[in-house]
């Protein structure tokens, strides 16, 4: 079994993967080390659009501090993103494919088995099992590494999907809160100035444009003062904007009447 003193990387503790919790992947990396003569296991997620590989979790010898790597150059990208394993028995740390990765810069690994992590046929990451000495994996060890790449890829994809869903839920929750705030602000203007809902909307929108302030901030200011008097500048601006929106002379008279009472 793997020695208990061997370190493992927890991304949420270091900030290298702030939007994801990849701790569930650590046991798989530790198992890979226990089943081989390797000294380090490192898992990368790949951002194809921006050509960036991010080290999200590791076990074994610690890497250098940097955890994100720009994958520049066609040769590096084609090898790092290919759907077949990349194997080096010696001098892996000198290879253009690996030399900029933090584990190789720190430890100068001689050997590596780099297995692609696939999701729906797309490369989403790579799993690097590294050796300090130029010793090849035996067939059983090599097969074990390749077999582990499938559950690792599934967990990585599931974690990424969960993070994406979490961000979407957070976004929708914020939008719902903003909508409720905006509706309350419109209701306050409607009650204070005896105007329509549409006129209240245009009032907030025009105030936002004129002040160059987000509509949410305008709505929050109106709601915050709803229990007492509106701020003098807000009252006057709202009154002015509503007058601009009104076309009926009788409504304007009522606005003057209510403006003096707010």
DSSP result, 188-218: HHHHHHT--HHHHHHHHHHHHHHHT--HHHH
The residue-averaged pLDDT of 217-224 equals 86
pTM: 0.60
Task: Tell me, yes or no, whether 50 and 112 share the same domain.
Answer: yes
Q: Is residue 181 part of a domain?
A: yes
Q: Is residue 228 part of a domain?
A: yes
Q: Is residue 3 part of a domain?
A: no
Task: Tell me, yes or no, whether 19 and 118 share the same domain.
Answer: yes
Residue 142 has pLDDT above 50, yes or no: yes
Q: Which residues span the domain enclosing 118?
A: 11-137
Task: Return mean pLDDT, the chain.
Answer: 76
Q: Is residue 159 part of a domain?
A: no
197 band by pLDDT with thresholds 50, 70 and 90: confident
Task: Tell me, yes or no, whether 94 and 178 share the same domain.
Answer: no
For residue 245 the two structure tokens come to: 């929106």
What confidence score (pLDDT) does residue 18 get?
A: 33
Q: Is residue 144 part of a domain?
A: no
What confidence score (pLDDT) does residue 237 get?
A: 59
Task: Tell me, yes or no, whether 185 and 89 share the same domain.
Answer: no
Distance from CA of residue 23 to its chain's centroid? Answer: 17
Task: Tell me, yes or no, whether 99 and 212 share the same domain.
Answer: no
Which is more confidently placed, 196 or 12? Answer: 196
Please, is 103 exposed, middle or buried when counting C-beta atoms within 10 Å of its C-beta (0-12, 13-18, 19+)?
A: buried
Domain count, the chain: 2
């Amino acid at each position: 079994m793997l020695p208990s003193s061997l370190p493992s990387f927890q991304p949420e503790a270091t900030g290298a993967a702030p939007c994801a919790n990849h701790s569930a992947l650590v046991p798989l990396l530790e198992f890979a080390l226990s089943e081989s003569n390797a000294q380090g296991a490192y898992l990368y997620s790949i951002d194809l659009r921006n050509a960036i590989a991010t080290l999200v979790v590791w076990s074994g010898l610690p890497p250098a501090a940097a955890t994100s790597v720009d994958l520049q150059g066609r040769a590096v990208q084609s090898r790092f993103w290919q759907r077949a394993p990349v194997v080096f028995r010696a001098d892996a740390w000198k290879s253009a494919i690996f030399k900029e990765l933090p584990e190789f810069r720190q430890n100068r690994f001689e050997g590596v088995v780099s297995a692609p992590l696939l999701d729906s046929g797309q490369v989403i990451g790579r799993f690097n099992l590294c050796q300090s000495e130029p010793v090849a994996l035996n067939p059983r060890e090599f097969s074990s590494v390749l077999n582990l790449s499938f559950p690792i890829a599934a967990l990585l994809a599931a974690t990424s999907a969960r993070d994406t869903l979490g961000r979407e839920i957070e976004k929708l929750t914020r939008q719902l809160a903003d909508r409720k705030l905006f509706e309350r602000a419109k209701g306050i203007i409607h009650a204070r100035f005896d105007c329509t809902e549409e006129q209240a909307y245009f009032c907030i929108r025009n105030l936002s444009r004129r002040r160059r302030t987000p509509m949410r901030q305008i709505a929050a200011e109106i709601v915050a003062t709803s229990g007492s008097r509106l701020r003098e500048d807000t009252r006057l601006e709202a009154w002015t904007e509503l007058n601009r929106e009104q076309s009926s002379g009788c409504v304007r008279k009522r606005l003057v009447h209510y403006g003096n009472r707010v």
